[in-house]
Amino acid sequence: MTGKYTYREIDESTVYSELEDVFILSPQRLRDICKVFVKEMEKGLESDDCTLKMIPSFVTNRPTGKEVGTYLALDLGGTNFRVCEINLEGQSKVRLRAKKFTIPDSAKTADQSVLFDFLAESIAIFIKEYNINTENDINLGFTFSFPVQQTALNKGTILLWNKGFNCANSIGKDVVTLLSEALTRKQLKVNVVALVNDTVGTLMSHAYVDPGTCVGVILGTGTNAAYVESADAIPKWKGGPIKSNEMIINSEWGAFDNERKVLPWTKFDQQQDDQSTNPGKQTYEKMISGMYLGEIVRLVCKDLIERKILFGGMSSTEMDTPGKFETAYMSRIERDHTAELTDTKMVLQEILKIPYVAPRDRRIVRRICELVAIRAARLAACGVAAVVTKMNRVDTGCTVAIDGSVYEHYPHFDNRMRDALHELFGMFSENVSLQLGKDGSGIGAAVIAALADK
Ligand code: BGC
């Protein structure tokens, strides 16, 4: 059927109210979430056996901006895999050359050696193409953005995979050894000197230019945060005294509320979780990050289609297929300010192949996108607020460096987070400065490698 259809008699505003009941979070709800978040962080600092892993990164100093040197960096864990050459020039200046590689889907779920050989091969291509001198063994910082139990600055065992990765024979193994073995197989003279989470990298690279930075957040394919913790506040730390009395903690906040006690978990979130590669895990991440938002929208649309409230009950193979409603389409739809929502129609008709999309359908889908994204931004703000509260920085303030496609490109994400922070902190929210920390993960790995050299 390609022509118009008669709608089931249900008022548009009734549809909106139903959706709003499901997705809107009141200021009180934000406060409750934030409170539980702080408690969970404290628990995670006491013991490894907690939902929030609160992993000491072994990074105990922040940069001064004067660090110099040339380093390689690998950045694995977002949408793209990148190899970079980073030149720290001192005076907070950085030069970067980078090449993106696409990881074949097959390497994401095969034996670990397939993935690590691919990484080594990419480094070999980069070294050749950019004519990098490796005669004296070049140092490399490895940004590996998955949960890792760090045991030294350049050692850490893989705890679990997420974001669509699931490599066999890797859990419990040291990531640096896996990479170094692959580099040796390729006879590459590269030393892996630091293993870095992207949030730690983002914090450190931003601190290279703004010493007031004490939080690094990723809001991209996945989500997570790292922050500066006082060494005395980490009862589980058994690594001896820390000169600076500071430790950067990788919170792995994506796992927050895996127990489903406080987050507004809906039937759509449950459906998404059931079909994921890691059911029951990364609860908070699945409500916030780029890998999942589009899928939540698709599931809400499917529900309305089945109830004949949307598109006159007509679906398409695309709309019926998990993963086909990309988060990037949500951005496009939210950016569509035409009276007729023409671009929204284009996405739904041309890309998602819905046979007929009436103006009312376009408005409803747009509202779904808005509600899902607003919920994500408000939840992300709860995490930031919890970290700032945990650091006792609400009064004194701090800079939060944020990187990732959702924060950088999703329309209004930043403002929606700021609104929520204002609801949580009132006028003190002005003390929390959210700043885009672009390219942070790669540069941060180089900064950490430079500090390790000192
Ligand atoms: C990973 C984190 C990472 C975050 C952002 C999460 O899925 O567990 O280690 O920092 O994604 O890339």
Q: What average pLDDT does range 6-12 have in this prediction?
A: 70
Superfamily of domain 60-196: ATPase, nucleotide binding domain (3.30.420.40)
Pocket of ligand 1 (CB under 6 A): 77-78, 145-147, 162-163, 197-199, 218, 220, 222-224, 252, 254, 285
Which tens digit of pLDDT belongs to each residue from 275-286?
Answer: 998 999 999 999
Per-residue confidence band for 8, with pLDDT thresholds at 50, 70 and 90: low
Which tens digit of pLDDT belongs to each residue from 168-201?
Answer: 999 999 999 999 999 999 999 999 999 999 999 9
Per-residue confidence band for 137, with pLDDT thresholds at 50, 70 and 90: confident
Enumerate the β-bridge partners of residue 92: none
Q: How many Cβ atoms are within 10 Å of 338's Cβ, its own excluded?
A: 10
Q: What average pLDDT does range 217-221 have in this prediction?
A: 96
Please say if the pLDDT value at position 5 is more than 80.
no
The average confidence (pLDDT) of the chain is 95
Pocket test for ligand 1, best of 149, 163, 215, 284 (most atoms within 8 A of CB): 163
Please say if the pLDDT value at position 440 is more than 80.
yes
Pocket test for ligand 1, best of 53, 54, 218 (most atoms within 8 A of CB): 218
- The mean-pLDDT minimum among 76-85, 168-177, 236-245 falls in 76-85
For every residue of 368-412, DSSP letters joined together read: HHHHHHHHHHHHHHHHHHHHHHHTT-TTT-EEEEEESHHHHHSTT
CA of 251 to the centre of ligand 1 (A): 10
Asked whether the beta carbons of 387 and 41 are under 8 A apart, the reply is yes
Q: What is the pLDDT at residue 1?
A: 43
Q: What average pLDDT does range 390-417 have in this prediction?
A: 97
Q: What is the pLDDT at residue 452?
A: 87
Counting from 1 in the atom list of ligand 1, the atom nearest the Cα of 162 is: 7
DSSP at 7: P
Q: What is the pLDDT at residue 140?
A: 95
Q: What average pLDDT does range 210-214 have in this prediction?
A: 93
CA of 207 to the centre of ligand 1 (A): 20
Q: What is the pLDDT at residue 4?
A: 59
CA of 11 to the centre of ligand 1 (A): 41
Which tens digit of pLDDT belongs to each residue from 352-385?
Answer: 999 999 999 999 999 999 999 999 999 999 999 9
Pocket test for ligand 1, best of 224, 292, 403 (most atoms within 8 A of CB): 224
Q: What average pLDDT does range 13-24 have in this prediction?
A: 96
Per-residue confidence band for 9, with pLDDT thresholds at 50, 70 and 90: low
CA of 83 to the centre of ligand 1 (A): 18
CA of 252 to the centre of ligand 1 (A): 7
Query: Which residues are part of the catalytic machinery?
Result: 163, 198
Dist CA 67 CA 194 (whole Å): 16
Counting from 1 in the atom list of ligand 1, the atom nearest the Cα of 148 is: 9
Q: How many Cβ atoms are within 10 Å of 13's Cβ, its own excluded?
A: 8
3-class SS at 417? helix
Q: What is the pLDDT at residue 6?
A: 57
Q: Which CATH number fits domain 1-57+209-437: 3.40.367.20, 3.40.50.300, 3.30.310.160, 3.90.1140.10?
A: 3.40.367.20
If 0-12 CB within 10 Å is exposed, 13-18 middle and 19+ buried, where does residue 308 land?
middle
Per domain, the residue ranges of the chain are 1-57+209-437, 60-196
> If you take atom 9 of ligand 1, which residue's CA is the nearest one?
146
Q: What average pLDDT does range 1-9 have in this prediction?
A: 54
